[in-house]
Structure 1
């Protein structure tokens, strides 16, 4: 049995966040012990060299006695209901002072942070909005630090950017559920779709974890078309974004013939055609960032300049090639049905032509049925590949033409042969990539290379 000495903090998890927590506690001079459920966590030897004298327990947390610990700090990847810490978590939730508090890395960040926080969560698109808002802050001349669940761990930002006058953080449900009070200046809850139910139990549990972003917030931006993103606190100042014509005070989209405009109430902000980001869903992301940026005092002209040049994050609705009136969009990060539905519904209505959808890989037992209706509405053909291609063929046949290919390269050849001016070739697989690629990034890079080769051939053809 490993016993945590009185006055020590127990850090659980030796991943990126766990190591950031250890560095932070070390800077504060707080003694700590580390535990990880894996027998040999990656980087263990390096950690021991960096923190000589710090006890490390590897194995079941039931073999750790943390009753005398000052506090238990969990890495986001550690479920608070893991045997060995679950009782402490439940007791803390019931307001008991009988044992150590159980918190996460973001709670430590909040204690140490001396600048305003802007935070973004949601099942999809939070990385895009976080990056957009960070770029808008820089364009507005702010000293901004961007990270959290995206890029640099929040606690490391305190060291890397001690001069920051604003922290823009992407926060996951795992990070938020262990944050008692975020106290952010502005927050956004973008959307909610089924995910992480193995951790949170059910959709109400998942929503409750996400909704922790509202605790102590001074301003909130929510999805006017998704009531699950709305806060329960009626006193919290809230602004809504929508892909429909906005009501007074809302952020939305107004269509005028073939043109469409980003709007704030009745105020015209910019034509959607000037956005580099593709798709209605990315127009919604732009509106969310604009709403937060306005509250934070960013000039509209600065925010518009960012929207006109920002191409999207790699593998997340990223425009990678365009020629002869055909666009190729890399959404390889669309590894679940919810993300792919957002991409289809976002891009489909904006096209003069049709979608050519590329999907497939490891479906992880997902139900692909929800894809049938939007693909029938917007797509010329579904081109499927990978291990679960047969499941997609069975699900989609009868809704639209479906072609099964051996791999992504063959699928792209088929797409190139089908594409007509006004069309969009969309890779948004609704599946993991590990059957044919090392990760979704490798899959996206293969798509990018193939699309750019197609563009070069097309532009060279007289």
Structure 2
């Protein structure tokens, strides 16, 4: 069947998890596809061979030159807007889309009714919230999937054989930057903290790209009513151009006001999607239904519940979905109790904002931290957590930055500085943490840093921690 892409010359920028599916879909729609890629390694050559066998042109090692005749670019989300390829595209009047934009425009191409999108972004908590949301939607009997930045291709979701009632969509700031026509049913921004500023250029630009998720929302813009940073998620809602009747819905860890979801006496309650919200509230679930019931995870649950309620899901489905939800590994995961001390793996806490939330979940902590700081500073993090720290064990390339912050803001906290960056350092770190801990304490791996100085990724780092803990209890 002819489509708007039939005969069109489309350049796909970047191979990988988004580029290869985009190239295949566009080729299948009759476009003349050229893929350009910066790298020319073994993996890229294997992907190129797969595409070339279909009739797609691939240019490896040259991601900056605009192919002659290009009418549209579909880019991998991580490619910076400042790349020469995009400068040339702008000068030639060639539009640039991301894979999310392409997926949005392909909804319903086969004649099926497009599934609405419930979209989530934020500096931290996106994946967990989207998975919670999908669990709630499934508990309501809806055909759904958690897709997007979560690792499941949106293109596969909108062009595959499965017909969905609704999609739970995780979107990064990169993806939102390249998705100008996206219009979600309802969307949430969980939080905002400085991140990826080298890509966006400024905090203002980063926040603006996050705020794109609210553009054109139909039913609800869900925001974090507890946020104090500027710009706040509520500021982004105020600046959004939404459809008539779309409502601002806040979530808070305190008692909710009208048009908010919040917490009252150990219950998650809804004062947004009820009759006479000035006087009434609907119980959704117990705090103990949230796994784990750490403050930041309760906030994730409230955001997921807000989006589900905006889609008409019952209170019982919210409760059942939260109870059925199991978090991914390395997200504030309890590993074991050894001699009255809890050992918790939050290796996914790769920045200060995530680590702040993790530290706030426990009263007395021996903190294992360090790695690649990615330009972060740690003074505010340490100052806020100082009263909770029994001790700290530091590992990784940039551990000195955390040590210096501890010296300034928590000088009474004992610090063990491990001068090593090999993977075996984790076992020693856990052993030192055990020495510092007392019964009732929590040994918390919440590094506030990336892992690549010592490990392949945060998963390997968390696995090393868990294995070290298991050796303690052996």
Native 8 Å contact 2:341 2:442 kept in 1? yes
Higher alpha-carbon deviation: 150-159 or 280-289: 150-159
User: Aligned runs of 1:190-269 on 2, under 5 Å?
Assistant: 190-218=190-218, 219-226=220-227, 228-230=232-234, 231=237, 232-233=239-240, 236-254=246-264, 256=265, 260-265=266-271, 266-269=281-284
Question: Is 1:304 matched with 2:319?
Answer: yes
Question: CA 1:323 to 1:413, structure 2 compared with 1: closer, same or farther past 3 Å?
Answer: closer
> What residue is the counterpart of 1:429 in the other structure?
447
Report the TM-score, using the length of structure 1 for normalisation.
Answer: 0.87
> What residue is the counterpart of 1:279 in the other structure?
294
Question: CA 1:276 to 1:421, structure 2 compared with 1: closer, same or farther past 3 Å?
Answer: farther
Task: State the alpha-carbon separation in 1 of the partners of residues 189 and 154 from structure 2.
Answer: 19
The correspondence for 2:106, drawn from 112, 121, 137, is 112
Task: State the alpha-carbon separation in 2 of the partners of residues 272 and 189 from structure 1.
Answer: 21
Higher alpha-carbon deviation: 408-417 or 276-285: 408-417
Q: Secondary structure at the match of 2:145?
A: strand
Question: Is 1:375 matched with 2:375?
Answer: no
Q: Secondary structure at the match of 1:147?
A: strand
Question: Is 1:357 matched with 2:367?
Answer: yes
The correspondence for 1:100, drawn from 69, 94, 98, is 94
Q: Secondary structure at the match of 1:263?
A: strand
Task: State the alpha-carbon separation in 2 of the partners of residues 199 and 73 from structure 1.
Answer: 18
Task: State the alpha-carbon separation in 2 of the partners of residues 277 and 117 from structure 1.
Answer: 26
Question: CA 1:292 to 1:357, structure 2 compared with 1: closer, same or farther past 3 Å?
Answer: same
RMSD: 2.4
Task: State the alpha-carbon separation in 2 of the partners of residues 312 and 329 from structure 1.
Answer: 14
How far does the alpha carbon of each residue in 1:194-241 deviate from its partner, in whole angstroms, 9 at most, with x for none? 111111110110011111111221122111123521321375411011
User: Aligned runs of 1:49-198 on 2, under 5 Å?
Assistant: 49-52=50-53, 53-66=55-68, 68-89=69-90, 99-113=93-107, 114-160=114-160, 162-198=162-198
> What residue is the counterpart of 2:426 in the other structure?
408
Offset of residue 51 of structure 1: 3.3
Task: State the alpha-carbon separation in 2 of the partners of residues 286 and 245 from structure 1.
Answer: 15
Task: State the alpha-carbon separation in 1 of the partners of residues 293 and 342 from structure 2.
Answer: 10
Offset of residue 342 of structure 1: 2.3
Offset of residue 324 of structure 1: 6.2
Native 8 Å contact 1:182 1:217 kept in 2? no
Offset of residue 166 of structure 1: 1.4
Unaligned runs of 5+ in 1: 92-97, 458-462
> What residue is the counterpart of 2:14 in the other structure?
13
Task: State the alpha-carbon separation in 1 of the partners of residues 41 and 452 from structure 2.
Answer: 24
User: Aligned runs of 1:321-332 on 2, under 5 Å?
Assistant: 321-322=336-337, 326-332=341-347
Question: CA 1:104 to 1:245, structure 2 compared with 1: closer, same or farther past 3 Å?
Answer: same
Task: State the alpha-carbon separation in 2 of the partners of residues 165 and 271 from structure 1.
Answer: 27
Unaligned runs of 5+ in 2: 1-5, 108-113, 272-280
Offset of residue 185 of structure 1: 1.1
How far does the alpha carbon of each residue in 1:84-140 deviate from its partner, in whole angstroms, 9 at most, with x for none? 322434x6xxxxxx6222111111111122111111101110011011111112222
Native 8 Å contact 1:184 1:217 kept in 2? yes
> What residue is the counterpart of 2:27 in the other structure?
26
Paired residues in the alignment total 435
Native 8 Å contact 1:145 1:161 kept in 2? no
Report the TM-score, using the length of structure 2 for normalisation.
Answer: 0.85
How far does the alpha carbon of each residue in 1:125-181 deviate from its partner, in whole angstroms, 9 at most, with x for none? 001101111111222221112211112111022344522221111111111111112
Native 8 Å contact 2:7 2:30 kept in 1? no
